[in-house]
Amino acid sequence: MILKKVILLIVIFTLVSACKTTKILNKNMDTGLSSKKVIKNHYTNTFNKETVKAKLKVKYRGKSSLPSINASLRIKKNETIWISLTKLGFPIGKVLITPNRVSFYEKINRTYFDGDFTLISNLLGTELDFEKVQNLLFGQALLNLKKEAFHLEIDKNNYLLKPKVANNLYDILFLINPLNFKINSQQIKQLDKNNTLVINYPNYTTIDGEIFPKEIYIKASDVKNTSTISVNYKSVEFNQPLSFPFKIPKNYEKIELK
């Protein structure tokens, strides 16, 4: 059961990296920028490669902890996210995400899921779709910052954005990196259920002119439990030919929504 939960979290978090950048790299933080300018700069530095191919190391901590899991990640922008998971060199599961569908299977308990984003959204407590998942991986804001007005503050050498008008459903904030205008941290709290999701990007690196997260740290908590998952990128390549082999094995038990 622990392994099944890890794979579900990986579907959420490594569903939960990369980004085009018209470089905006300031030696000193500009404290005179408006919130609109910070948001504009954030969207200027948006991923613009066709594909991503990466090797990852994933660690999970919750009620129980597991040794590191290795993963291969392949992304075709706006079309497909594919993840293959291995433990001690043995394959343990695969994930396939498209704009309309989420599918995965895990070999230890011989279970699978094939459906829409409802399961992931329910587990996370936040409505997700393919675009939001991509944004999470690319160090972009999970929500569309252009749809509402934000108040801008300076917080420990970050641009901090908070909505000017409070949302009755969610409490959100974004910490923007002043050097590359990527997300340093984004936090979403579902007020009625007291579910909190915090996504931190401790380090960024540049590969082939693209600024993207070198690691991602996620913390999900509710009134009873807290789970964390860290993702470290061991290698990343862009615009490589990719395939997305995926077939749910026979005689696996389907995970049903409750």
d(CA 205, CA 244): 26
The predicted structure's pLDDT at residue 220: 82
The predicted structure's pLDDT at residue 193: 77
Q: Taking the model in full, what pTM does it have? A: 0.83
Mean pLDDT by runs of 10 across the 258 residues of the chain is 52 42 50 93 91 93 76 96 92 94 93 87 72 89 92 93 87 93 92 86 93 90 83 94 96 84
The predicted structure's pLDDT at residue 86: 93
Amino acid letter for position 46: T
DSSP lists the bridge partners of residue 196 as: 189, 221
The predicted structure's pLDDT at residue 154: 93
The predicted structure's pLDDT at residue 65: 64
Parallel/antiparallel/unpaired status of strands 170-176 and 183-190? antiparallel
- The fold for domain 2-23+30-232 equals outer membrane lipoprotein receptor (LolB), chain A (2.50.20)
The predicted structure's pLDDT at residue 5: 53
Longest dimension (CA), the chain: 61
Q: Render the burial of 113-128: b for 16+ CB within 10 Å, e for the rest.
A: beeebebbbebbbbeb
What ranges do the domains of the chain cover? 2-23+30-232
